[in-house]
Amino acid sequence: MAIFNLKKREIECKVVYYGPGRCGKTTNLEYIFGAYKKQVKGEMVSINTEGDRTLFFDFLPIGLGQIRGCDVRVQLYTVPGQVKYSSTRKLVLRGVDGIVFVADSLEVRREKNMLSLKDLQSNLKEYGKSIFKVPLVMQFNKRDLAEQGIPLMSVEQMQKDLNRQLQVPAFEGSAVKGDGVGVTLKECLKLTLQSLQREFKWAQ
């Protein structure tokens, strides 16, 4: 849940990158850390395990500066994608204000995407939130691998699989190259702040 300090006109919200294992959640944060130095407000912390897999979470604090009279700070997190870290995912998701769902465009990961989205829906439900109401943006990652002849799902297929009912903004991306990373985050932040404005009327 976002923290407001109305006296100091400060707002701090939480955005979580969710998705199946090895889909590129950490790579998104690494790109943001490297490319948006002006906005980054601290070190990126990654707690990894064997093979650079996220064990607990990645964390990156950023600042958006003054927006409508309020100093806006955002905490970016990733969850561990591996199925066995279910309880950690739930912990990291607690108090979330906005979500980026990173889907893997590889054909071989089709089912994992769908299972992860279902897992997100289930975890949100346990916190009393609806996946249809939470600010959510999708990124179809790894589009660059098509150049190497790797079988990818078409964007239409991914929309049909993952976004047919949700109808949330979705962007093609290549986190490793930085393509689509900024626009995805920007859209998620926009939706998140709009949602918080509707709920708390923080903006002047």
Size of the site for other proteins (CB under 8 A): 42
In this chain, which of 37, 38, 50, 164 binds other proteins, going by CB under 8 A? 50
CA distance 145 to 152: 8
Q: Which is nearer to other proteins, 118 or 125 (CB)?
A: 125
Task: Give the integer Cα–Cα distance in Å for 96 and 128.
Answer: 12
- Residues 6+ positions from 51 with CB-CB distance below 8 Å: none
How do 3-5 and 170-172 pair as beta strands?
A: unpaired
- Span near other proteins by CB under 8 A; candidates 65-73, 81-89, 113-121, 161-169: 81-89
Residues 85-114 within binding reach of other proteins (CB under 8 A): 85, 87-88, 90-91, 94-95, 106, 108-109
Smaller CB separation from other proteins, 26 or 163: 26
- Min dist CB 56 to other proteins, Å, is 6
* Angle at alpha carbon of residue 117, lines to 116 and 121, rounded to 5°: 115
| Token digits of residue 140 | 């179809």
Label residue 19 left, alpha or beta by phi (over 0 means left) and psi (-120 to 50 means alpha): left
Residues making contact with other proteins (CB under 8 A): 1, 3-7, 21-22, 45, 47, 49-53, 55-56, 59, 75, 84-85, 87-88, 90-91, 94-95, 106, 108-109, 125-128, 142, 145, 148-151, 200-201
